[in-house]
Amino acid sequence: MINRIDKKFQEDKKLLSIYFSAGHPSLEDTVPILKKLQAAKVDMVEIGLPFSDPLADGPTIQESSTQALSNGMTTDKLFSQLENIRKYINIPLVLMGYFNPMMQFGIEKFCKCCESIGIDGLIIPDLPVDIYHEKYKILFDKHGLYNMFLITPQTPEKRIRYIDKVSNGFIYMVSSASVTGAKNTFGDSQKDYFKRISGMRLSSPTVVGFGISNASTYSTAIEHSNGAIIGSAFIKFLEDKGVNKIADFISSIRD
């Protein structure tokens, strides 16, 4: 069966993917947020698995993660929330989290749970691509899970080509070398980076993340890529306006 992520990229459109922390703002908001995002015609969703030491995340995502943990979010809780999710949600769902909680849960058990509820892929920022390739790719493939890797403006071309060869789904282009967080515009160096990666003619689609917060940064990001991911700006919106206003946020990005 074709993976939903591949299917989505075959639609020949620029994708909008949204990231949020599971269990935030409230513990039971995970499923309502997913339903509202699908209704607002978002293409893909990344569900953040909260972790106490999120290295790549800026203050907004860190705080949402901390709040989710204090709300009682755990890996077990997330899997139970998502148990019947494919009755309502047909867009690709990606779990984004750190390797430590997955190892504590048990990697094989984690992959099995993902497969049984219909998760399409994982993003694990602290799992190096070579370790994945040597130790875990066979397991991920067995459970139909894609694993997406991050590249930054500093990633050497050789490594990008290697990631392109051994991973599937898409390549997550981090827009800058800093942690996550919303920005109002992209500078020339970021635009040059987007163009440079586009010029490499990779076989994997590319999606830009970190620093996308409004229609302007979204349109700059998708000019030379297949889509863009919004996290911090969406989380702030949820905190300010609540789950019921999600459609307003999505239309502000796309219109």
Q: Across the 255 residues of the chain, what is the mean pLDDT of every consecutive 10-residue run?
A: 94 95 90 98 94 64 74 89 97 95 95 98 95 96 97 95 95 76 71 94 95 92 96 91 96 91
CA dist 14 to 69, 102, 218, Å?
A: 33, 31, 10
* Residue 225: DSSP 8-state: S
What is the reported pLDDT for 188?
86
Contact 107, 147 (CB under 8 A): no
Quote the Cα angle for 155-158-160, to 5°: 55
Provide the annotated active-site residues: 46, 57
What is the per-residue pLDDT for 57? 59
**pLDDT of 70:** 77
Rounded distance, CA 93 to CA 51, Å? 19
CA distances, 24 to each of 1, 35, 64, 72, 98 (Å): 33, 15, 6, 10, 17
How much is the pLDDT for 72?
76
Which residues on adjacent β-strands are paired with residue 248? none
Burial 166-199 (b: 16+ CB within 10 A, else e): ebbbbbbbbbbeebbbbbeebeeebeebbeebee
Q: In whole angstroms, what is the distance from residue 64 CA to residue 70 CA? A: 10
How deeply is 247 buried, as exposed, middle or buried, from its count of CB atoms within 10 A (0-12, 13-18, 19+)?
Answer: middle
Quote the CA–CA distance of 241 and 218 in Å, as a whole number. 21
96 near 57, Cβ under 8 Å? Answer: no
Q: Which of 145, 150, 107 is nearest to 125 (CA)?
A: 150
Q: Which domains does the chain have, with CATH numbers?
A: 14-254 (3.20.20.70)
